[in-house]
Amino acid sequence: MDWLTIGEVASRSGVATSALRFYETKGLIASERTDGNQRRYPRATLRRVALIRAGQEVGLSLAELAEALETLPHDKTPTKADWERLSRSWRTRLEAQIAELVGLRDELTDCIGCGCLSLKSCAIFNPGDAASGLGTGPRYLLGDSREAVAADS
Amino acid sequence: MDWLTIGEVASRSGVATSALRFYETKGLIASERTDGNQRRYPRATLRRVALIRAGQEVGLSLAELAEALETLPHDKTPTKADWERLSRSWRTRLEAQIAELVGLRDELTDCIGCGCLSLKSCAIFNPGDAASGLGTGPRYLLGDSREAVAADS
DNA sequence: CGAGTAGTTGAAGTTAACTTCACATTCGCC
DNA sequence: GGCGAATGTGAAGTTAACTTCAACTACTCG
């Protein structure tokens, strides 16, 4: 196996050396040391770093990634099964994220259609119905919507 | 016009009083003061806060929101035109975000199909082609993919 | 062998968006 | 008038994910 210096990993992965050291403190990657105490990374580290970046794109935190990467060997290429497991779960996550945004967009579109200035059912502007307390159901979270509502407080 | 205390705005909007004070320091909302130096918010503040939360959902930073809200009056309900302007631009932004995630998902799906252990064209694992430097085109960002690649450095 | 580039460490700094704290003042209500 | 809840302020704390710094040490190349 050949080893890469931190600078090589950095330029080949597009990740700063400071970030790589940071990842190492977090246990996301690992290295051996030379006699002179310099880090030497196994080649598979490039793939690990790529996985980290991809995972971040998908919205995972480094802590979550550390957990996911725990199951992969530090010093050799992950198997196709390893990769499939990760990519499938990440895709699931992506899909959930997409669904959430699409829902938000649709609501926003509805709002545009109605003006949303007094819409009781607007989900965006009535998130979880945190308002009120008067027990009269959804409040006009966007504030006063003329007389009718102004009279409720 | 009637005024709301910070506590009222907080409970009706679902946003903590500390956050409201924070928003105020950032110029996102504004208040008048009573003789005793307590804040009193105009009713339209509820709508402003709702807009802020909605904007954040869409991925806007408070700084960006401050800019967008600058065009709205602090003390009265925004017009339908104001709201349409904002919601349209936010929807555009949402759609861009969605498109990005969908693209990522599709790439991930392709990767799952191929195993992605040696795929040259994998966009996820070859982001912007930061790798190489050897001028041989896309490198195997994921690291070594057996002999063939191991021989390239 | 000497210069210059690359790498090492721990600590502190950065940004966003708030929260928490400590302590003083004010409000609303009986 | 008095009491407890609500507010006010500025400063410091929080979390994530890094970056920057200072002071060294190690490599690499001519």
| pLDDT tens, position by position, A70-128 | 888 887 777 778 878 888 888 888 888 888 888 888 877 776 665 554 444 455 555 44
CA A127 to chain centre: 22
- List the single range of A48-57, A121-130, B44-53, B135-144 with lowest mean pLDDT: B135-144
Q: Indicate if the alpha-carbon torsion angle B19, B24, B26, B30 is positive or negative.
A: positive
Over range B109-117, report the average pLDDT. Answer: 62
**What pTM value is reported for the model?**
0.72
Stretch among A83-87, B15-19, B132-136 having the lowest mean pLDDT:
B132-136
How high is the pLDDT of residue B129?
39
Q: What is the DSSP-derived secondary structure letter of residue B116?
A: -
Phi, psi dihedral angles at B3 (to 5 degrees): -115, 150
Band (B26; pLDDT cuts 50, 70, 90):
very high
Pick B21 or A54 by higher pLDDT.
B21
Q: How far is the CA of A46 from the C1' of D22 (A)?
A: 30
- Using an 8 Å CB-CB cutoff, list chain A residues near B56: none
Q: Give the mean model confidence (pLDDT) for residues B40-54.
A: 91
Return the structure tokens found at B35. 């003789």
CA A10 – CA B133 distance, rounded (Å): 12
Please, is A107 exposed, middle or buried when counting C-beta atoms within 10 Å of its C-beta (0-12, 13-18, 19+)? Answer: buried
pLDDT score at B5:
97
Report the nearest residue to nucleotide C18, CA vs C1': B19
**What is the pLDDT at residue A152?**
31
Protein residue at shortest CA distance from C1' of D7? B38
Cβ–Cβ below 8 Å for B14 and A50: no
Packed helices B44-57 and B6-13: angle between N→C axes, nearest 10 degrees: 40
Give the C-alpha separation, B108 to A68, whole Å: 16
Chain A interface, mutation test: which of B5, B11, B12, B129, most A Cβ atoms within 10 Å? B12
Q: Do A80 and B14 touch (CB under 8 A)?
A: no
**In angstroms, rounded to a whole number, what is the distance separating the alpha carbons of residues A97 and A86?**
17
Q: Which residues of B touch A88 (CB under 8 A)?
A: 112
Distance B27 CA to D11 C1' (A): 20
Beta bridge partners of A3: A42
The b/e string for A118-147 (b: 16+ C-beta within 10 A; e otherwise) is ebeebbbbbbeebbbeeeeeebbbbbbbee
Q: Of A27-31, A47-51, A119-123, B77-81, where does the model show the most confidence?
A: A27-31
pLDDT at B27 over 90: yes
Give A31's pLDDT tier (boundaries 50, 70, 90). very high
Lowest mean pLDDT: which of A19-23, A111-115, B61-65, B109-113?
Answer: A111-115
- Residue A118 CB in 7 A reach of strand C: no
Q: What is the pLDDT of residue A126?
A: 52
CB B143 to CB A53 under 8 A? Answer: no
